[in-house]
């Protein structure tokens, strides 16, 4: 199980989904998420986050703002003894996206792109030990 993983969505699973959360002030962790993540980590599961970020596509916030919040979120998990291995995100929206973000990309859930990308990475970790 060295490369087994728990896949977590962000909004609604890690944090309360207040709609297009993109700053610390509106980021409220779901009760018990750190306990769950810590337990999985202690069982040798990698913690992987997969998240649609239509707020980027709609122009509500930038990829840089998303990355800053994500870095802070990952620091909170590490401090809780449950480091996140990787975060995958899809900044696209098939109808409401602006400019290059107007796209029905395979990375956007419910498409499997982010999960397949994570699986490929986990497989490569297994073969490069």
CA pair distance 39, 107, nearest whole angstrom: 28
Give the pLDDT of residue 7. Answer: 97
Q: What is the mean pLDDT of residues 17-44?
A: 97
pTM exceeds 0.85 for this model: yes
CA pair distance 114, 106, nearest whole angstrom: 8
CATH label of the domain that carries residue 33: 3.40.50.1000
Give the pLDDT of residue 126. Answer: 66
Indicate whether 26 pLDDT > 90: yes
Give the pLDDT of residue 123. Answer: 87
Q: What is the mean pLDDT of residues 110-118?
A: 96
Number of structural domains found in the chain: 1
Task: Find the domain containing 63 and state its range.
Answer: 5-127
Positions marked active-site: 9, 11
Q: What is the mean pLDDT of residues 73-92?
A: 98
Report which of 73, 60, 85, 78 is spatially closest to residue 24, judged by C-alpha positions: 73
User: pLDDT grade, residue 3 (50/70/90)?
Assistant: confident
Top-confidence residue, 89 or 122: 89
């069982």: which residue's tokens? Answer: 43
């Amino acid at each position: 199980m060295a490369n087994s993983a728990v896949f977590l969505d962000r909004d609604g699973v890690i944090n309360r989904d207040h709609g297009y959360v993109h700053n610390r002030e509106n980021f409220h962790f779901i009760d018990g998420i750190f306990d769950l993540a810590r337990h999985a980590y202690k069982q040798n599961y990698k913690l992987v986050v997969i998240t649609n970020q239509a707020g980027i596509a709609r122009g509500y916030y930038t990829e840089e703002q998303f990355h800053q919040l994500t870095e802070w979120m990952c620091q909170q998990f590490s401090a809780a003894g449950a480091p996140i291995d990787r975060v995958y995100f899809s900044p696209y929206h098939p109808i409401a996206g602006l400019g290059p973000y107007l796209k029905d990309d395979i990375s956007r859930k419910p498409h499997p792109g982010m999960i397949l990308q994570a699986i490929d990475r986990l497989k490569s970790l297994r073969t490069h030990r």
